[in-house]
Amino acid sequence: MDVLFISKHGSMYRYFQYLKRNLDLHSSVFDFTPKSYIKLHAPPLSDAEIKAGTEFHLQRKKAKYNFPQWLWRLLGFYYEAKFKFYYRQFSGLIHACKPKSIALWNGHRLPEQAIKILAKKLNIPVVHFENGLLPDTTTFDLSGVNDANSLPRDAQFYREYKNDKTLIERELVTRKFHRSKKAHAKNKTFYAALPEKYIFVPFQVKFDSQILLNSKNIKSMVDLYQWINFAEQNSEQPLKFVIKEHPSDPHKYTELYSKNPNIIFSNRDTKELIEKADAVITVNSSVGLESILLHKRVIVLGEACYGIEGLCHPVKSASDLSEAVNQLPLWELDIGLIENFLAYLKSEYCVPTSWRNPDKQHIDSLHKKFKNI
């Protein structure tokens, strides 16, 4: 078999079924419960591998729920047992299918962690699919997604890249508000006129992998707010910040809305907030890359695939952030570097067209990438 596609049921599973029908490859699609497959004598698992396979799942639950410590210990044992079951189950499936490659969506879920550990032991390449880094594109990466992806992190690599001046789409994707926040988000106070000069700060989903895995210093949006508050209080000139809560995050940060009159919450269109801002501060949000796309100065606080000096300005502490904010008037964008980076994404890295609306160009690109593995 050329490709074994595995996903939970839903839109990604349907997308994988579409690829099976349209790619000229021998492939199969399975969900997370291939009940007829199990291998009792699977490759041995170490305690470290079990911990690595369950840690993110447990962290994500802890970010969502506030349970007593004894319950978290019980849940830890439960997730370990569940992980080992998935491991044996997918060991049987892989043994039966003998795939040349395995395709997953994102790769952080508990079953996917079991699959990735198995694949590594069996020397089977794993393809990670995700939303594309540019508008109307899709990610296909053997290394991982977000900060774990395979993009070169050397600014000189992009300075030397031969830019063919490919047209790059700069219309951003609009995000829908979580169902629990739709009414809250429409409050007219979130649509007040924007300050004449401000720095835009997009909040992120508090239980997202970007915060849990790729942010060493900021572990919550309250932490992010405290860094912004420190920068505002230590600014050498009057300064306003505009924060937008992530539309997909059900949590409402009502306790922060009136804490500092110079830090304002807004639900205006993200593109408008970026375009009118003097700069953008992000942990590692996709909004950071969108801001680079729109030629804005971006300060990055976490680990991000675009966190390259010159494309943006990475900082590691609240005091460094304060200094970077005070130095903004001296910051000149390296447009050549930015455009070469974007051209590399468009021409070399991203799969053309979104996975939500795949076309012939999308299929042709994927077929070439699978054949290269």
What does each of the 373 residues of the chain score in pLDDT, given as a tens digit?
Answer: 999 999 999 999 999 999 999 999 999 999 998 777 877 778 999 999 999 999 999 999 998 888 999 999 999 999 999 999 999 999 999 999 999 999 999 999 999 999 999 999 999 999 999 999 999 999 999 999 999 999 999 999 999 999 887 778 888 877 778 777 878 888 888 999 999 999 999 999 988 899 999 999 999 999 999 999 999 999 999 999 999 999 988 889 999 999 999 999 999 999 999 999 999 999 999 999 999 999 999 999 999 999 999 999 999 999 999 999 999 999 999 999 999 999 999 999 999 999 999 999 999 999 999 999 9
Q: How far apart are CA 284 and CA 28, in angstroms?
A: 34
**Tokens 């319950």 -> residue:** 71
What was the pLDDT predicted at 24?
95
What was the pLDDT predicted at 248?
87
What was the pLDDT predicted at 173?
76
What was the pLDDT predicted at 148?
95
Q: Tell which residue, 197, 172, 184, 345, has the closest CA to residue 271.
A: 172
Q: Tell which residue, 88, 176, 92, 173, has the closest CA to residue 137.
A: 173
Q: β-pairing, 298-300 with 313-314? A: parallel
**What residue ranges in the chain does DSSP mark as E strands?**
3-6, 27-30, 101-105, 126-131, 137-141, 199-202, 241-244, 263-265, 279-282, 298-300, 313-314, 351-352
Contact 305, 158 (CB under 8 A): no
Q: Tell which residue, 302, 305, 275, 306, has the closest CA to residue 291.
A: 275
Q: What is the pTM of this model?
A: 0.92
Which domains can be identified in the chain, with CATH numbers? Answer: 3-124 (no CATH), 155-346 (3.40.50.2000)
- Write the single-letter amino acid at 99: P
**Tokens 């910051």 -> residue:** 331
What was the pLDDT predicted at 89?
92
What was the pLDDT predicted at 335?
95
What is the separation of C-alpha 77 from the centre of its chain, rounded to a whole number of angstroms?
Answer: 28
What was the pLDDT predicted at 184?
83
User: Which alpha helices (H) appear in 234-359, and where do they start and end?
Assistant: 270-275, 286-293, 318-326, 335-344
Q: β-pairing, 279-282 with 199-202? A: parallel
Q: What is the side-by-side strand order in the sheet with 137-141?
A: 27-30, 3-6, 101-105, 126-131, 137-141, 351-352
**Tokens 């596609």 -> residue:** 5
Question: Whole-angstrom distance between the N-terminal and C-terminal Cα of the chain?
Answer: 13
Contacts of 314 (CB under 8 A, 6+ apart): 299, 300, 301, 307, 308
Q: Tell which residue, 253, 288, 259, 285, has the closest CA to residue 274.
A: 288
